[in-house]
Amino acid sequence: MKRNYKMTISYDGTRFYGWERQPGNDMTIQGKIENVLTKMCQLPEGKSVQVIGAGRTDAGVHARAMTCNAVIDTDKTEEEIWKYMNEYLPDDISVNEVRACSDRFHSRYNAIGKTYRYTCWYGLSKPVFDRKYVTVLEQKPDTELMRQAAQILEGTHDFKSFCGNSKMKKSTVRCVDTINIEESGNYIRLYFHGNGFLQNMVRILTGTLLEVGYGNIPVADVQKILDAMSRQAAGPTAPAQGLCLMKVDY
Amino acid sequence: MKRNYKMTISYDGTRFYGWERQPGNDMTIQGKIENVLTKMCQLPEGKSVQVIGAGRTDAGVHARAMTCNAVIDTDKTEEEIWKYMNEYLPDDISVNEVRACSDRFHSRYNAIGKTYRYTCWYGLSKPVFDRKYVTVLEQKPDTELMRQAAQILEGTHDFKSFCGNSKMKKSTVRCVDTINIEESGNYIRLYFHGNGFLQNMVRILTGTLLEVGYGNIPVADVQKILDAMSRQAAGPTAPAQGLCLMKVDY
């Protein structure tokens, strides 16, 4: 029977060229999932299952709970689909839930919020066991300055200065309702919650906040960066490996 | 100045052929550390720094806090040695502390206890982010049965049945004072504390406890396995990747 299924997926993005399917590139997460579902449904040559993701993560970015959906024609139960997918997907992609859902459910259009986490690490030792999921900082930034800057960035703004796509034609206004900076041992974790994020936006926000923490950008300049509406005004794009999509709200 | 230094080391054992240096094999942890220290001390051709570890971990086994020591002739401070080592060691080996210590300190002879952790995971999802540090179980074992068996194994026994080295000529008597089995989400973690462990011993203990948990070995047979004094009597050797040396006591 043909039904719409909602799935939540974890992945270690290290080996992949991002979420989005690319022609001729086998190493995308969407591509891997579509291939497994297409195989499961034994579709005729040339036909394939289309998976809709809540958003696109960049190459090297991880996810604890990406949400996606796909219309699948199968006799399998939810649990059987779940087992099949995990059996055939590689070790660095896990399906955590499969649920039949309304035909109208659309992972991207229905998403009302997302949480991203950016993990930094500093110190004389090295983060051996999660080295692929953190960005190592040369020194400890001043997190109090970072929090002051984060307060300026919170809220509804035109985030054009924080958009990695210079040809973006649609609105670059987004609402980032919270940016929380948590410290634990040698870790500094930045949590971003908002209604949507532009390309590279969390990484550019993080790169800018770190520059503030290092004293290279004064807190007072953060409003000017927003006002500049230019990518050149903001700080660097923080490396992909520290970023993880934590949750999509519906 | 020539001094004895105590070091604590973390490593992801995945890529390595175990702790112990092997002639002609570049991929051992002891070998990597000795090479870096030898380079640091600029020793003449043919001379090398000797590192003494608290014990030897098998190929693929990890450590959060292996302790080792080495007599080093250097003008560097403890912090300078620490920085140098982490700069030249690969990302999967971290030095967490370097301290000058008594000339008499010997990492192996002075060790009075060790804690090992064995991490298992079960479920329909997959442990994406720590997949190299856990052993995935096909099904959930009965942990209550495992705890009953663990109680029988705790204490001072001849652990010959749990020794991977069939040619072991020295005493195989050891004291394992605690075996704790903790459950959290989809994880089952076995903590072993004892005064010393034989080759593969923690892995054979784990493999045997899992067989008890699956109902393949009755709890009542555990004493018989100890009494048999034969490796054939015990369960299989659990995979290396779930094992981690957590701490060495002095």
| Residue in A10, A62, A131 nearest the CB of B91 | A131
Q: Residue B96: closest CA among chain A residues belongs to which residue?
A: A125
Indicate yes or no: CB of B93 within 8 angstroms of CB of A128: yes
Q: Residue B125: closest CA among chain A residues belongs to which residue?
A: A96
B89: chain A residues, CB-CB within 8 Å: 126
The one-digit pLDDT tens for each residue of chain A (250 residues) are: 899 999 999 999 999 999 999 999 999 999 999 999 999 999 988 899 999 999 999 999 999 999 999 999 999 999 999 999 999 999 999 999 999 999 999 999 999 999 999 999 999 999 999 999 999 999 999 999 999 999 999 999 999 999 999 888 899 999 999 999 999 999 999 999 999 999 999 999 999 999 999 999 999 999 999 999 999 999 999 999 999 999 999 9
Q: How far is B173 from chain A (nearest CA, A)?
A: 33
Distances B91 to A176, B49, B182 between C-alpha atoms, Å: 35, 21, 30
| Rounded percentage of chain B residues whose pLDDT exceeds 90 | 96
If one compares B129 and B1, the residue with the highest pLDDT of the two is: B129
| Residue in B11, B82, B126 nearest the CB of A91 | B126
* Residue B182: its H or E element: strand B173-184
Q: Where are the beta strands (DSSP E) in chain A?
A: 2-11, 51-53, 62-73, 93-101, 113-122, 135-137, 155-158, 173-184, 187-194, 243-249
Q: Is beta strand B155-158 parallel, antiparallel or unpaired with respect to A243-249?
A: unpaired
Q: Residue A83: closest CA among chain B residues belongs to which residue?
A: B124
**pLDDT for res B111:** 97
Rounded-to-integer distance, Cα A128 and Cα B10, Å: 7
| Helix %, strand %, coil % of chain B (to 5) | 30, 30, 40
Q: Answer for the pair B87, B80: CB distance below 8 angstroms, yes or no.
A: no
A79: chain B residues, CB-CB within 8 Å: 124
Q: Residue A89: closest CA among chain B residues belongs to which residue?
A: B126
| Helix %, strand %, coil % of chain A (to 5) | 30, 30, 40
Query: How far is C-alpha A169 from the geometric centre of its chain's CA atoms?
Result: 21
Q: What is the pLDDT of residues B64-122, one digit of tens each?
A: 999 999 999 999 999 999 999 999 999 999 999 999 999 999 999 999 999 999 999 99
Considering only the C-alpha atoms of chain A, give the largest distance between any 2 of them, rounded to a whole number of Å: 60
B11: chain A residues, CB-CB within 8 Å: 128
Q: How far is A127 from chain B (nearest CA, A)?
A: 7
Q: Which two three-digit tokens encode residue A80?
A: 């059987």
pTM for this model (two decimals): 0.93
> Among all residues of B, which ones are annotated catalytic?
58
Rounded-to-integer distance, Cα A136 and Cα A151, Å: 24
**Short-list B213, B205, B202, CA closest to B245:** B202
B10: chain A residues, CB-CB within 8 Å: 125-126, 128-129
Report chain A's terminal Cα–Cα distance, integer Å.
25
Backbone torsions φ then ψ of A113, nearest 5 degrees: -165, 160
Indicate yes or no: CB of A129 within 8 angstroms of CB of B93: no
Indicate yes or no: CB of A129 within 8 angstroms of CB of B95: no
Q: Answer for the pair A154, A177: CB distance below 8 angstroms, yes or no.
A: yes
**Residues of chain A contacting B, Cβ within 8 Å:** 10-12, 62, 64, 79, 82-83, 86, 89, 91-96, 124-131, 133
